[in-house]
């Protein structure tokens, strides 16, 4: 295979940059651009060793100094010979070192090509490769844990165990269907049913966890609603001010206006404040009301804020009714808990199971708000050591597998022929094998790696 190279660190000014070369001739190429000072020759460097030296152009002129790390096949990330040149982290010098490698015969790597080679050389399964990508894009603890579990092969083993069982069953079924007159042991329908049920339960969990994973990864569109002066802005500031790791640019968002995002525990709330939704003749106010209604319609979560020191009025009730009709997930916040409470809670409990008291001004009640939100969105109580958030591709395969395996179970229950059951199990097992990458088409593999960045 041809030798490839790329800058594996972000192309921005920094302390160091790493240029990676992989392929049969990686060490020869590195030897031409790197002249070691701490050892005799690059060619004689053993795997897992480094050398300090000069990076030179083809005329022997010094470009930079740095460190070369050598990995020998198959003990490298890609399974091939790999050399990593660390130079100073300037954009120009980094590009120059990359160009030197290309001049010496390496080709510029495609997106994800290093990891793709690792997959093709059997160093990683497809799901493990996806775990690498998820580690890079993880924005929180849960996502990182999940990525690590995937990377270490947990998802692969889980699905692979399932599919192996079905492949064995398919072998037995085929023998039984093809040679009915032979004296083969009767297929135990009970065992088959048991395997199908276990697989379905496993797939159900993966699919359910995926939905929560999406919420944790992508954040929650949240509207803070309430009439003027109840403390919406103060609440927004409380949420934004608490954790300075504010995410202002959420990847993958399609909205043209990105409001501010705040972290509440592991959740990213994409917050927007609204004007009221009351009837009005004022043209300018009307525009505000329309925008507010649109935001409410698009939100996943609505935090309705009321002033605990004032009785609920028409405008409050109008909001409660309006949001109720939209069928949104609602948290009712009674703000200003530092003042005397004059609100009848039971009036509000009709609208949400989550009525909490806070004082936005004093930054009190954040924990209750977090707990309520996690419960409402169904993401509380995760065991971070065992929960895997599968990605879209994996979920599509899991759903396909679930569909066919459920149909197989149904056919079995309805007493259909084992022929029919076999077809369903075959389709289900194929979907599982596609999930793990054991039977993925080239197009699927290309698609997976096209989502990587160059240099990974």
274 labeled binding residue: yes
95 labeled binding residue: no
Tell me whether residue 94 or residue 337 sits nearer to ligand GDP (CB atom). Answer: 337
Q: How far is the CB of 55 from ligand GDP (least distance, A)?
A: 57
Q: How far is the CB of 442 from ligand GDP (least distance, A)?
A: 55
Residue 359 carries which DSSP code? B
- What track of x and - describes contact with ligand GDP for positions 302 through 341 (by CB under 6 A)? ---------------------------------xx-xx--
252 labeled binding residue: yes
253 labeled binding residue: yes
309 labeled binding residue: no
Does 274 bind ligand GDP (CB under 6 A)? Our answer is no
Q: How far is the CB of 11 from ligand GDP (least distance, A)?
A: 42
387 labeled binding residue: no
Q: Report the distance separating Cα 151 and Cα 148, nearest Å.
A: 5
Q: How far is the CB of 274 from ligand GDP (least distance, A)?
A: 10
Q: How far is the CB of 365 from ligand GDP (least distance, A)?
A: 9
Q: How far is the CB of 269 from ligand GDP (least distance, A)?
A: 16
Q: Report the distance separating Cα 239 and Cα 221, nearest Å.
A: 14
**At residue 45, what are phi and psi to the nearest 5 degrees?**
-70, 135
Q: How far is the CB of 75 from ligand GDP (least distance, A)?
A: 60
Q: Report the distance separating Cα 313 and Cα 306, nearest Å.
A: 10
CB 305 within 8 A of CB 333: yes
Q: How far is the CB of 434 from ligand GDP (least distance, A)?
A: 51
Total of residues contacting ligand GDP (CB under 6 A):
16
Q: Report the distance separating Cα 354 and Cα 375, nearest Å.
A: 9
Residue 453 carries which DSSP code? P
Transcribe 80-121 into DSSP letters: S-EEEEEEEE-HHHHHHHHHHHHHTTPEEPPBTHHHHHHHHT
Tell me whether residue 118 or residue 225 sits nearer to ligand GDP (CB atom). Answer: 225
**At residue 70, what are phi and psi to the nearest 5 degrees?**
-115, 135
Task: Provide CB contacts within 8 A for 366, sequence distance 6+.
Answer: 238, 239, 242, 264, 358
248 labeled binding residue: yes
- What track of x and - describes contact with ligand GDP for positions 229 through 248 (by CB under 6 A)? xxxxxx--------------
Task: State how far the alpha carbon of 57 is from the alpha carbons of 45, 66, 99, 179, 342, in Å.
Answer: 21, 14, 9, 70, 79
Q: Report the distance separating Cα 191 and Cα 172, nearest Å.
A: 12
Single out the residue of 51, 66, 154, 53 nearest to residue 388, CA to CA: 154
Does 135 bind ligand GDP (CB under 6 A)? Our answer is no
Tell me whether residue 303 or residue 372 sits nearer to ligand GDP (CB atom). Answer: 303
Residue 274 carries which DSSP code? -
For the chain, how many residues are written? 456
- What track of x and - describes contact with ligand GDP for positions 347 through 366 (by CB under 6 A)? ------------xxxx----
42 labeled binding residue: no
Single out the residue of 252, 256, 162, 152 nearest to residue 202, CA to CA: 162
Does 228 bind ligand GDP (CB under 6 A)? Our answer is yes
Q: Report the distance separating Cα 34 and Cα 52, nearest Å.
A: 9
273 labeled binding residue: yes
Tell me whether residue 336 or residue 456 sits nearer to ligand GDP (CB atom). Answer: 336
CB 268 within 8 A of CB 259: no
249 labeled binding residue: yes
Annotated binding residues for GTP? 229-234, 248-254, 273-276
Q: Residues forming the annotated binding site for (6S)-5-formyl-5,6,7,8-tetrahydrofolate?
A: 20, 84, 123, 456
Residues near ligand GDP, by CB under 6 A = 226, 228-234, 335-336, 338-339, 359-362
| Binding site listing for K(+) | 229, 248, 250, 253
Give the residue ranges of the annotated binding site for Mg(2+): 233, 254
């Amino acid at each position: 295979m041809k030798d490839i190279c790329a800058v594996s660190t972000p192309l921005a000014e920094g302390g160091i940059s790493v240029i990676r070369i992989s392929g049969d001739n990686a060490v020869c190429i590195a030897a031409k651009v790197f002249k070691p000072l701490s050892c005799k020759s690059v060619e004689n460097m053993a795997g897992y060793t480094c050398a300090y030296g000069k990076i030179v152009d083809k005329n022997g002129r010094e470009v930079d100094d740095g460190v070369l790390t050598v990995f020998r096949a198959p003990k490298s990330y890609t399974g091939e010979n790999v050399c990593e040149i660390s130079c100073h982290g300037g954009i120009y010098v980094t590009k120059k070192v990359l160009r030197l490698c290309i001049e010496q015969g390496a080709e510029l790597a495609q997106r994800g090509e290093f990891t793709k080679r690792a997959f093709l050389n059997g160093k990683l399964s497809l799901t493990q490769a996806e775990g690498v990508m998820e580690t890079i894009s993880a924005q929180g603890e849960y996502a990182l844990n999940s990525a690590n579990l995937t990377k270490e092969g947990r998802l692969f083993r889980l699905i692979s165990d399932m599919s192996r069982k079905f492949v064995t069953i398919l072998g037995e079924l085929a023998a039984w269907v093809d040679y009915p007159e032979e004296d083969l042991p009767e297929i135990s329908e009970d065992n088959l049913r048991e395997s199908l049920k276990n697989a379905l339960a496993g797939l159900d969990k993966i699919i359910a966890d995926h939905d929560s994973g999406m919420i944790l990864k992508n954040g929650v569109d949240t509207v803070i609603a309430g009439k003027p002066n109840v403390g919406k802005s103060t609440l927004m500031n409380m949420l934004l001010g608490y954790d300075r790791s504010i995410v202002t640019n959420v990847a993958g968002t399609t909205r043209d206006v990105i409001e501010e995002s705040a972290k509440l525990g592991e959740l990213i709330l994409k917050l927007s404040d609204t004007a009221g939704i009351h009837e009005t003749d004022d043209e300018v106010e009307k525009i505000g009301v329309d925008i507010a209604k649109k935001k409410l319609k698009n939100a996943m979560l609505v935090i309705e804020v009321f002033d605990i020191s004032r009785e609920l009025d028409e405008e409050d009730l109008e909001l409660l009714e309006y949001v109720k009709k939209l069928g949104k997930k609602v948290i009712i916040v009674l703000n200003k808990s530092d003042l005397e409470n004059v609100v009848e809670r039971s009036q509000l409990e009709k609208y949400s199971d989550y009525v909490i008291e806070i004082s936005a001004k004093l930054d009190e009640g954040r924990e209750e708000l977090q707990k309520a939100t996690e419960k409402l969105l169904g993401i509380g109580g995760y065991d971070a050591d065992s929960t895997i958030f599968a990605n879209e591709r994996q979920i599509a395969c899991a759903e396909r597998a679930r569909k066919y395996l459920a149909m197989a179970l149904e056919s079995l229950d309805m007493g259909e022929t084992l022929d029919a059951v076999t077809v369903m199990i075959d389709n289900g097992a194929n979907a599982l094998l596609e999930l793990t990458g054991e039977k993925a088409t080239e197009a699927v593999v290309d698609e997976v790696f096209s989502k990587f960045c160059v240099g990974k």
